[in-house]
Amino acid sequence: MTPFVDFHCHLDLYPDYEALVAECERHSVYTLAVTTTPRAWARNKTVASKTKYIRVGLGLHPQLVSSHGKEIDLWEKLLPETNYVGEVGIDASPQYANSLSEQKYVFERILKACSSQGGKVLSIHAVRSVPLVLDMLEKYLDFATNVPVFHWFSGSPTEARRAAKLGCMFSINDRMLHGSKTQSLLKAIPLQLMLTETDGPFTTTNGRVNRPLDVSVCVAHLAREIGQDKNDVQCLIFENLRRILDQRHRSK
């Protein structure tokens, strides 16, 4: 059976973290466990090193830059230990406006470090900031050796087309599939650039916090929206994952 893909989940924020890791292994769910600060890296790396299906992203969440921005030095020091980066990006929501300048500084350093080392897959947060993030990706990221993936893309179809043309990918969660602009956004994203995610534990299904295996709900709803069989969509997502990992390996 084709495995599911949860390309953005905060495994270490669940109370039963290690049980959830075992669940991902048992059900063969390829999971990118993103982190929010580089100080979370060591524990996550230790747990994931024993698994087949879990990889850990080295993160510095833009919403935490005001309090943890100085950890960019530690982030850069740890980057050679991983091929996955996340959660990183820019959040220009009003409550984070005061740190926008520092967010840009941190994100610039992240992109430059990834370009210098190459072979990185980035899970990118871009809230009210898609044009800015795209400008920074164009300026600072080497697309030939790195793969940027927009997590929970909230931009316009026009912005999605710009991102796709650059070579960005998109991890889609179920919450994205129930809005008034769902169809126009999905039409702007080529199928070969789609991945799936839960963003657990920050999303729910029927009042229950999503876990990586719940990405199956997203696959079913995505299949309905694009008019394809859900098994075919599951295979498509897995093949997209394999392709970007192959691209990363070739760039090393």
Domain count, the chain: 1
Tell me, rounded to whole angstroms, the distance of Cα 81 from its chain centroid: 18
Are the C-beta atoms of 30 and 2 separated by less than 8 Å?
Answer: no
- pLDDT grade, residue 246 (50/70/90)? confident
pLDDT value at 250 more than 60: no
Q: What's the confidence (pLDDT) of residue 1?
A: 84
Q: Is 10 annotated to bind ligand?
A: yes
Alpha helices in the chain (DSSP H): 17-26, 41-48, 65-68, 72-78, 100-117, 130-140, 157-166, 182-188, 215-226, 230-251
Q: What's the confidence (pLDDT) of residue 252?
A: 54
Rounded distance, CA 187 to CA 214, Å? 24
Q: Is 125 annotated to bind ligand?
A: yes
- pLDDT grade, residue 105 (50/70/90)? very high
Model confidence pLDDT, tens digit, residues 187-214: 999 999 999 999 999 999 989 999 999 9
DSSP result, 66-132: HHHGGGHHHHHHHGGG-SEEEEEEEE-SGGGGGGHHHHHHHHHHHHHHHHHH--EEEEEEEES-HHH
Model confidence pLDDT, tens digit, residues 65-101: 999 999 999 999 999 999 999 999 999 999 999 999 9
Q: Is 249 annotated to bind ligand?
A: no
Q: Is 8 annotated to bind ligand?
A: yes
Q: What is the mean pLDDT of residues 52-72?
A: 97
Stated pTM of the model: 0.96
Instruction: For the chain, state the CA radius of gyration.
Output: 17
Cα angle at 196 between 183 and 71, to 5 degrees?
A: 120
| The two structure tokens encoding residue 40 | 């979370």
Tell me the residue range of the domain where 16 lies: 4-251
Model confidence pLDDT, tens digit, residues 110-135: 999 999 999 999 999 999 999 999 99
- CATH code for the domain in which residue 164 is found: 3.20.20.140
Q: What's the confidence (pLDDT) of residue 244?
A: 87
